[in-house]
Structure 1
Amino acid sequence: KQLEVDIIGHDLEKTTALARNIEGKLKAIPGAVDVAVDRGRERPELEIVLDRDKIASLGLNTAMVANTIRHCIYGMVATTYREEGEEYDVFIRYKPDFRHSIVDVENISVPTMTGKMVKVKDIATIREVLYPPEIKRKNQERVVTVGANVTGRALGDVTADLKAEIAKMQIPDGIEIEYSGQVEQQSESFRDLGLFLILSIFLVYMIMASQFESLLDPFVIMFSLPFALVGVAWGLFLTGTSLSAIAFLAIIMLMGIVVKNAIVLVDYTNILRAREYDLHNAIVTAGGNRLRPVLMTAITTILGMLPLAISTGEGSEMWQPLGISVIFGLLVSTLVTLVLVPVMYSIFETRFKKAEWE
């Protein structure tokens, strides 16, 4: 399922009780549906606890006693019966009247190494307990999972609400809680996308450095990238949207769009400087002439993402972060491109180029 909570611990009673408690908390959270615990209802079983000292003194071990009890109750194949080409296993076991109660099991006779018979009640204690029909394990530890699907809300929001509820609960000693399902996959996606983001920024910088034949101009261009992240964070906060893998993809998309607008501005400024325009006139002229292309790129992209940002249909909670991130990130970065990038260009040209000439 999309959201899974693994409750890890050896004590079946404590883990089951905690799982039922978390199940109730999760059902009360908006957006959580199909909430269920993967451990079925307990059923009665007989637990046989052997006295190891006694069975050792009789020359027995746990396997020998267990096999004897198993053969008496479930039976063992004594021979095979053949009829008309078909084979049938012949089982030997106690009659139903002698294997249906605790007293019957206590009276099962176990042969010792000396040939004598000893009753189970003389070497073991039998009690009736409740056990789940299936015990799952994770990393060799007993685990019970509470799972749910999410609809109408972002997975991260529902997970955050659940973590807040679990933080209020008293977790017994020896029990651990882990989150799996798509929550775990989302965490791994964030790590991978973070590496891709760093790699994309590095590659974009290297490509621009080779094209501009300068290390300073690409730095001026990429000065607007952090402000795109500010715009994304601002947009997600104002709309109450959580950061998801889709929103992270939008950030990577913004890297190319924002850099493109700044390249148009800086490249034309360099062209004017090559035509012997002074620094101030080159910046003002480039800003005026390239204002329209920059705004057209930003406006068309924003309008294209607007349907995703305002959609309310099924699955909209998945794609809304993409539209919101691109729109707000592009709004802020465009203002930075038109205002702060020329300022940074002037500072770098005045200080670093002058120092280079000196």
Structure 2
Amino acid sequence: MNVSAWSIRNPIPAVMLFVLLTFGGLLSFNAMKVQNFPDIDLPTVTVSAALPGASPSQLETDVARKLENSIATVTGLKHITTKVQDGAVTLIIEFRLEKPVQEAVDDVRSAVQRVRADLPADVRDPVITKLDFAAQPVLAFTIASSKMDDQSLSWFVDNDVTKKLLALPGVGAVNRVGGVTRQVHVDLDPARLQALGATASDISRQLRLVQTESAGGRTDLSGSEQPVRTLATVRSADALRDIQIPLSDGRRIRLDQVARITDTIAQPRAAALLDGRPVVGFEVARSRGQSEVAVGALIQQALLELRAQHPDIQLTEAFNFVEPVQEEYDGSLHLLYEGAILAV
């Protein structure tokens, strides 16, 4: 049967089919997400293990080699890349492309569990994740204020900025870069400990019980059943000074009798620089399957609202991976329109 001849004799069905295909194409085009690279799953798994205070040589012998030997038995393995640094080990396990991603993750997790008991007791539980290209940041900003210091700015980013941006659809993660982290230091005095007959383990054991909240069951109160919780928290460093430390001989001492407690900041392990100056910044990553252009527009709008609510802050764009994507998208549409016109 000649389709062309039939369409000429019966133009209405052919026109209707063309209209339906055009309408479906327009709907599909509008539903497409604008991204620099498509969301792809590569069978690559990352294993991270931490042992604070350990040297690279100790980590290589006690952690890295044991994990490598166990993971090496997994089928479909292609490469293992290990990075060892002070207090941390990172393994990047690459499988052949035909290996399903979830199967690769499950196989690596099983291999790690087989040697978990052979690792040092102080090693934190290894974190196993698959490689996700969508988790890469698309926007980064630095923040400054005439009324806040680095500690206040860091808390402002962790609390206000992060909450506002994570509430936007399509935002997958907000990570602070640079700044400082609040930390309470408890510096023990060995001479006082010896004079009072206390040990560092007594102090450590009691401090582990601080900041604890646990369920305590239920009770009847005024004819209704209410949940009961056990609260053992302190709200400030001053309250921490008054904590009672029970000793093995039955005596009790206050924490400030054997230690100096200071509310300060943690030692910086990383720094963010802009034009050679230390700054406080944050990076924003999109969620998987979301449009970089749409998410970038929502982020910019949210930051404008944040500036209006806090006139004292100044936000500076450090890098923007959304604009190149928008330019490439606009250029592609321009070429598409030119081709359609020339074809007609």
| TM-score scaled by length of structure 2 | 0.32
User: Which one has the bigger strand percentage?
Assistant: 2
TM-score (norm. length: structure 1): 0.31
